[in-house]
Structure 1
Amino acid sequence: MDIHSEILSLESRMCRSIIGQERVVRSIIICLLCDSNLLLEGMPGLAKTRAIRSLAANLDATFKRIQFTPDLLPADITGSEIYVPDSGSAQDAFQFRQGPVFGNLVLVDEINRAPAKVQSALLEAMEERQITVSGKTYALPRLFMALATQNPVEQEGTYNLPEAQLDRFLMKVLVDYPSAESEKGILDLVRREHRQKYADRKSAEKPAEEERVKLDKEAIYRAWEAIADIHVSEQIKDYIVAVVQASRYPGRHDAQLAEWLAAGGSPRATLGIERAGRAHAWLNGRDYVDASDVQAVAHDVLRHRLVLSFQAAASGVTVEKVIDRILSLVIAG
């Protein structure tokens, strides 16, 4: 099986355990292929954590979970130096103990429940793939992906994420309610899982052969190399830049758009659309990026990077509507 087929098989296995959230699964796969971080936002019970666990269950990689709470400390994430009285020398008296951030897939659950001091502990890890403790720098694994979740409705005991941290997520994906048909499928899936859980030991030790298949990290590295070679024409580069420029200087395109936007996307948004567009094209079996790839990933890449004006908020204008407006005004060359 070639690497492209292996990745599509991974996606298919995830979709079978996350019914009705195919779009969310595709976004998770794209972020994995882009060697980037992902933020999932949705109401409780919409399988945000389950989706991330499903990815971990199908990858031969180290999975770590951090439950963010108001009393969490930065050292609880990064690790810290501890005193070892029985060490052989004074130089080794303080030894570093790794925190949960030293994993391949790191689930940051309810990321907005910790104050900014704790959230900032992830900044260096997310961007530079390293952490610094007591003046010493420690590299994170080659495959490192922070997958964060947050609840959009609960405000008590939560803290807004700093813009600098939001910008380090390649995508912000909104998890919506499943359809009636999908929800019926969820009932059947969970019932089957409960039956297996409560079955006798013999049946519990006989998982399906396909469920035991785990994708090796080397396959992910090969996919990174293949996606790096995806062709992006000058016209598509111009289109990506024009989309992001329209978010910064909306008055050049539309007076109403200018009223809606207070701040646009940074160059990270441009890089993110191009990188996610290459991964999207590769997943669809093409060796080049076209305008449909840009449009497919634009919402997830721009959603958390645009700042709406007070007028937009007062008028009930959503960021989705703003991005739709930008894409309708900027035409691919």
Structure 2
Amino acid sequence: MQEQQITVLLDKLSQVSDEIAKVIVGQQDIIDELLISVLAGGHCLLEGVPGLAKTLMVSSLAKTLALDFKRVQFTPDLMPSDIVGTEILETDHETGERFFKFQKGPVFTHILLADEINRTPPKTQAALLEAMQERRISYAGTTYDLPKPFFVLATQNPVEQAGTYPLPEAQLDRFVMFIRVGYPTEQEEIEIIKRTTGNDHNKLSAILSADDIIALQNLVRSVTASNELLVYAAGLARATRPDKHQGEQDENVNEQTNEPCQSVNEHVRWGAGPRAGQALILCAKARALMLGRYAITVTDIRFVAPAVLRHRILVNFQAEALNITPDNIIDDLLAFVAVPTSPLQ
């Protein structure tokens, strides 16, 4: 790809964030994390109480991308066929012959908004699993490829609320990022009220095409990551695992102090798998590219670490009793794991 083409793509990418800001007040870090997950080619899960514009944020992103977009409202009575599709009986009007034809479901799109994904039972949640991982659907012995690019951008309510079905760990691991959406500041809330109670309605323009997104995803993978930073990302992922779950070759220890991370050993039941290290590097590369750099730094990894790791750490009952969350564990790990002495920081 020529340098001029890269410059045009990066200019378009910066315009996407500005375009979304027309309808979303504040939440810049969350918008950045959404874009990072798209550039990394992964799926994204947003969690927050009702009314924090999670759905609006995802739909606004979809509007700025010239891609097919479908929305599924997950409910307790939603069936897998409502997502994947089903066979219907049709008749050939010329021959009178009757045959089954596969009617594609809403998953056959570029961007699938899975709204309130934890409101539906596990059987239906699992219908997304193959689509998210393999980018294809198998039905009645036939495999159907999904369009490229394909993203699942899901929203969910906190699991403490009534009527929710927590996502299983296997499906959570398919999301490259788990973003928590918090309440706006006072000034942001005033601006939200001002915008939504007046006559002004901003229309969003499509900026990036499917080919642009694929080109940017390829560009992300060409961003440089030094060996020291690869080791650092792997160290962060491995440090999330208690000693008993580490490999035989090493332990959950700080190289400088040679001591294990106490909070992990005491409060973590299961840590992150190898996908976590892959996601850390890919998301760090995406962030670096968004900032106009072609090499990642420690800051990039540390920025994406909470969203990449929080859904991959399962705390034990003792941690729950003490109100210790995965985010608390991640804060400890970022202070615990030795930062590489690399020129790219």
Q: TM-score, normalised by structure 2?
A: 0.89
Matched, 1:53 2:78: no
- Please identify runs of 4+ aligned residues in structure 1 that moved more than 6 A: 89-92
- Kindly state the Cα deviation for residue 74 of structure 1 after the two structures are TM-superposed: 0.5
> Which amino acid is the alignment partner of residue 62 of structure 1?
D
Alpha-carbon distance change, 76 to 238 in structure 1, aligned in 2, over 3 angstroms: same
Q: Where do 1:4-43 residues align within 5 Å?
A: 4-43=10-49
Point out the more displaced range, 110-119 or 89-98. Answer: 89-98
Residue correspondence of structure 1 range 212-231 to structure 2 within 5 A? 212-231=205-224
Q: Quick check: 1:247–1:306 contact (8 Å CA) kept in 2?
A: yes
Q: Secondary structure at the match of 1:304?
A: helix
Q: 1:236 to 1:96 in 2, by over 3 A?
A: same
User: Greater helix percent: which structure?
Assistant: 1
Is the Cα–Cα contact under 8 Å of residues 14 and 54 in structure 1 kept in the other structure? yes
1:58-86 Cα shifts (integer Å, max 9, x gaps): 11111100111111111000001111023
Q: Match for 2:227: what amino acid?
A: E
Give the C-alpha shift of residue 254 in structure 1: 2.5
8 Å CA contact 1:87, 1:93 repeated in 2: no
Give the fraction of aligned pairs with identical amino acids, expressed as a percent. 39
Which amino acid in the other structure matches residue 290 of structure 1?
T
The residue that corresponds to 2:233 in the other structure is: 240
Unaligned runs of 5+ in 1: 198-206
2-structure distance, mates of 1:92, 1:233 = 60
Q: Does residue 103 of the first structure (1) align with residue 96 of the second (2)?
A: no
Aligned to 2:161: 155
The amino acid that maps onto 2:278 is L
**Post-superposition shift, 1:92?**
7.0
Q: Which amino acid aligns with 2:87?
A: E
**1:168–1:89: structure 2 CA closer, same or farther, 3 Å change rule?**
farther
Q: 1:173 and 1:88 mapped to 2: Cα distance?
A: 54
Aligned partners of 1:300, 1:167: CA distance in 2, in Å?
Answer: 12
Aligned-partner Cα distance in 1 for 2:319–2:160: 22
- Alignment length, in residue pairs? 320
Superposition pairs for residues 1-333 of structure 1, below 5 Å? 2-86=8-92, 93-152=99-158, 155-192=161-198, 195-196=199-200, 211-249=204-242, 252=253, 253-333=260-340
Rate the CA distance shift 1:332–1:134 in 2: closer, same or farther, 3 A. same
Residue in 1 that maps onto 2:249: none
Give how far 1:91 is off: 8.6
- CA offsets 1:15-35 (integer angstroms, 9 cap, x no match): 231102111111110011011
Q: What residue ranges of structure 2 are gaps of 5+ in the alignment?
A: 1-6, 244-251, 254-259, 341-345
Q: Distance in 1 between matches of 2:98 and 2:39?
A: 39
TM-score (norm 1): 0.92
